[in-house]
Every structure is written in C-alpha cells, then in structure tokens.
Amino acid sequence: MVYGVKCQACGLMQLSRPSCKACGAVLQGFPEVPSRAPSKVPSEDRAPRRAVTRTMGVTGTVGTAEMIATAGTAEASRCDECGMEFREDELIRFGQALVCAGCKPIYVQRLREGVTVAGEMVYAGFWIRVGAKIIDGLILGAAGFGLGFLGSLIIRHTLAGAVLQNTLYWLLGIAYGTYFLGAHSATPGKMACGLKVVRPDGQKITYGRACGRSFAEFVSSIILGIGYLMAGFDEEKRALHDRICDTRVIRT
C-alpha cells in the first residue's frame, strides 16, 4: 500500500500518480511497506498436524498402559522344589522343572547324586500298578501257602489255627512291604514293572514310612478296594495309602 508521495520539484504532497498535479514533474512513489503481522496458516493446514499430535498422544498412552498391564499380569508358576509361587522370569528351568533361585543349589546337588527330583517324576498309572500288585500277590500267595502248610502240621484245622494262619499271612504282607520299600523303594512286583515309591520331592522313603504305608494299604483294601481305585482319578496317581503317608509311585 502506498501512503503518499512528495513532489521533488515543488514539494507538494499528493497521492501517488504518474506526474505532479501542480508542476507536472514525474513522481516516483514510495514502495509499499510490507505488513509485519505474522502470516496466518490456514486452519485446514494445521488440522492434520493437530490430529496427528492427538493420535500420537493417545497411541503413546495406550502403549504405555499395555506395557504396565503386561508387566503386572505376568504369569505366576510354582517352584517344583519348594512349591512357592514366583513369576516365570524368576524361575530357572531344568528340563521340564521350574526351580527358584533359593532351591537351585539343592536341586543341582540332587541331580548330581542321581536322585529323582520333583518336576521330573512320571507318576505310575492305575493299570501298571494293578500289574505290580498282581505280581506281589502271587509272591505273597506262594509264601502264604508254604506258611499255611507248616502251620497245619503244627495246629490242626481248628478255628484257632485259621485265625493264626490269617494273622501270620497279614504280618507277612506288612514285613514284605516294609523291607522292600525301605531297602529298595519298591517291592518285587514294582521292580518288575519299573516302579518305585518315593516322597513328593523324589527322596526315598524310610523304613518307618514304609511300614506305615503297608498298614495304610490294609485300610485301602478293607473299604472294598476304593482306596486303590482313587489312583485312577488323582492327578498324581495317588491311592488312599499314598495320601495317608504322603508318598508317590513313579516310573523309573
């Protein structure tokens, strides 16, 4: 915009025009003064940028929230040695077993000693245990027949003789289970089927626990064998006598 010009010949101020209206001298107008006001960017040019900014802000927030939620809901697992719950990234994997840092030294030591450890145990199924029981029954039956024959030579077929014979047969079964489970963690029938009886942590059982398990097995038999059937429905294949004495039957 031109504000006005001054004639250099006569000094008259006038609007810009080709020549002075008084003396006719040629006029040279002042150049327009550029506006210093900041240029306005059309709203349609800024709209996409604001939209992108808002979108980026929302996306960043959601991403952070998802990361926090993921970290807060990390799956928890139990240590196969002590049974306590930890996050999976806090557990150490040994094959199929997960062990916490506190149990690692004991676990490694047992691996070196060749002891069956928790997490590596394969529980014996119902039918393989039935097969082992049949073998043990045949062995005990043969031993009981010989014991009964000797008893019949001493005591004739009387009520007292029958009671004595049954008592001796029952005690034979207790002694049979106590000795073999305490010494070898398996009876001959279980040895033949590749089974053994251990504690939940894989340790072998003591003679005292072996004796208690033999008595508890009598409980499983007198309730119509229901105690034995429980092994077919338990996730760790425990029969009633295993539950009572806290033992497990595993494959070797």
Residues 107 and 212 in one domain: no
Residues 140 and 184 in one domain: yes
Q: What is the pLDDT of residue 14?
A: 66
Q: What average pLDDT is seen over the chain?
A: 75
Domain membership of residue 193 (yes or no) is yes
- Pair of tokens at residue 42: 């059309």
User: Are 84 and 197 in the same domain?
Assistant: no
C-alpha to C-alpha distances, 105 to 62, 79, 92, 168, nearest whole angstrom: 42, 13, 11, 47
Cα–Cα distance for residue pair 156/17, rounded to 1 Å:
156
**Which of 120-124, 125-129, 181-185, 207-211 is predicted least confidently?**
120-124
Residues 161, 237, single domain; the answer is: yes
pTM, two decimals, is 0.53
Strands of the chain, DSSP E: 5-6, 13-14, 76-78, 85-87, 91-94, 97-100, 195-198, 248-251
- 96 and 179 inside one domain: no
pLDDT category of residue 190 using cuts at 50, 70 and 90? very high
Predicted confidence (pLDDT) per residue in 217-252, tens digit: 989 989 988 999 999 899 889 999 999 999 999 998
Q: What is the pLDDT of residue 98?
A: 81
pLDDT value of residue 127: 93
Using an 8 Å Cβ cutoff, are 121 and 202 in contact?
A: yes
Query: Which domain covers residue 191, as residue numbers?
Result: 126-251
Q: Does the pLDDT of residue 46 top 50, yes or no? A: no
Among 216, 222, 204, smallest CA distance to 240 is for: 216
Whether residues 192 and 246 share a domain: the answer is: yes
- How many angstroms separate the CA atoms of 194 and 239, rounded? 18
Number of domains into which the chain is organized? 2
Q: Are residues 245 and 137 in the same domain?
A: yes
Burial 64-96 (b: 16+ CB within 10 A, else e): eeeeeeeeeeeeeeebbbeeeebeeeebeebee
Tell me: the pLDDT tens digits for 96-144? 678 888 888 877 777 666 665 555 678 999 999 999 999 999 999 888 7
Q: Quote the percentage of the chain above a pLDDT of 90.
A: 31
CA distance 218 to 176: 13
Note the helical H segments in the chain: 43-72, 104-113, 126-154, 159-184, 188-192, 207-222, 226-229, 240-245
Tens of pLDDT along 53-95?
343 333 444 444 444 344 445 577 888 778 788 887 888 887 6
Is 228 in a helix, a strand, or coil?
helix
Judge whether residue 192 has pLDDT over 80: yes
Domain assignment of residue 86, yes or no: yes
Q: Is residue 237 part of a domain?
A: yes
Q: Does residue 95 share a domain with residue 171?
A: no
Query: Is 200 among the domain residues?
Result: yes
Flag whether 24 is in a domain. Answer: no
Q: Identify whether 131 is part of a domain.
A: yes
CA–CA distance, 154 with 144 (Å, rounded to integer): 15
To the nearest 10°, report the CA torsion of 135, 136, 138, 141.
-170
| Structure confidence at residue 180 as a pLDDT band (50, 70, 90) | very high
pLDDT recorded at residue 155: 67
Q: Enumerate the β-bridge partners of residue 26.
A: 19
